[in-house]
Amino acid sequence: MSSHTLTELYVGQIASIQRTFVEEDVQLCNTLTREFNQVYKQDTTVWDSHFEGPIVPGLLSEGLITEVISKKLPGTACVLLQKEIIFSNPIYVGDTISAELQIIDINESRNWITQKVSCINQHGKEVVRGQVVVLILPNNNNR
């Protein structure tokens, strides 16, 4: 895990994490959210005309994005203030997704960083894009 203070961050800085989504991930997400849409199920024909198979809930790819934020960039105590996410292509069970965040703006007076988001599957196809704004909290270790 990397941890950066606001002064250590710079525009252009990049961090990424990769994860393969499995059926158990989808089941756990559905149980926690109580959202049991047919498009997440293996044994359905609902997705036959639109998708190649059961898809992964968008919430899981968003979780991958926040994992990059909390573990790597900035990797310190922070709060997600804003997110603008476009799900440009489906993520299927078994897909390996690389989430990459790049700092595109730093607002030192507000302790905010803005990051560009890009998630790419194992075939090099972009599946999620957008941006997030994160508030970096002051170091509370001295309290």
Do 70 and 78 contact (CB within 8 A), yes or no?
yes
pLDDT in tens, 19-28: 999 988 878 8
- 31 — pLDDT class (breaks 50, 70, 90): confident
d(Cα 79, Cα 66) in Å, to the nearest integer? 10
Which residues does 86 contact at the CB level (< 8 Å), separation at least 6?
Answer: 128, 129, 130
78: left (phi over 0), alpha (psi -120 to 50) or beta: beta
- 39 — pLDDT class (breaks 50, 70, 90): low
pTM of this prediction exceeds 0.75: yes
Classify strands 126-136 and 96-107 as parallel, antiparallel or unpaired. Answer: unpaired
- 142 — pLDDT class (breaks 50, 70, 90): very low
Comparing C-alpha atoms, which of 15, 14, 47, 41 is closest to residue 26? Answer: 41
Comparing C-alpha atoms, which of 106, 138, 141 is closest to residue 5? Answer: 138
Q: Return the SS3 of 130.
A: strand
> Domain 6-136 in CATH: superfamily?
Hotdog Thioesterase (3.10.129.10)
What stretch of H or E contains 119?
Answer: strand 112-120
Q: What angle do CA 66, 69, 70 make, to 5 degrees?
A: 90
